[in-house]
Structure 1
Amino acid sequence: MTFTVTVRDHMMIAHSFAGESFGPAQRLHGATFIVDATFGAAALDASGVVIDIGRAAEILGEITGSLTYRNLDDEPDLQGSNTTTEVLCQVIADRLAERVHDGTLGAGQQLQSLLVTLHESHIAWASYSRSL
Structure 2
Amino acid sequence: MTYTLTVRDHMMIAHSFTGAMFGPAQQLHGATFVVDAAFRAARLDEHGVVVDIGRAAEVLRGILASLTYRNLDEDPRFTGVNTTTERLCAFVAERLATAARAGELGRDGADLHAIAVTLHESHIAWATYEVAL
Say yes or no: TM over 0.5: yes
Is residue 2:110 matched to residue 1:118? no
Equivalent in the alignment of 1:24: 24
- 1:116 counterpart SS class: strand
Deviation at 1:101?
1.2
The residue number in structure 1 matching 2:49 is 49
Runs (5+) with no aligned partner, structure 1: none
TM-score (norm 1): 0.97
Structure 1 residues 81-102: Cα deviation after superposition (integer angstroms, max 9, x where no partner): 1000000000000010111112
- Is structure 2 residue 53 aligned with structure 1 residue 79? no
Q: C-alpha separation between the residues in 1 aligned to 2:105 and 2:98?
A: 9
**Which deviates the most, 105-114 or 90-99?**
105-114
> Is the 1:51–1:108 Cα contact (8 Å) retained in structure 2?
no
| Native 8 Å contact 1:115 1:128 kept in 2 | yes
State yes or no: 1:8 paired with 2:13: no
Q: How many residues align?
A: 132
Q: Distance in 2 between matches of 1:109 and 1:51?
A: 12
CA–CA separation in structure 2 for the residues paired with 1:26 and 1:67: 19
Aligned structure 1 segments of 4 or more residues deviating by more than 6 angstroms: none
Amino acid at match of 1:112: H
Give the CA deviation at 1:105.
Answer: 2.0
Superposed displacement of residue 44, structure 1:
0.7
Residues 48-102 of structure 1: per-residue CA shift (max 9 Å, x gap): 1100001000100001111000000111111111000000000000010111112
User: Normalising to structure 2: TM-score of the pair?
Assistant: 0.96
* Matching residue's letter, 2:118: T
Give unmatched runs, 5+ long, in structure 2.
Answer: none
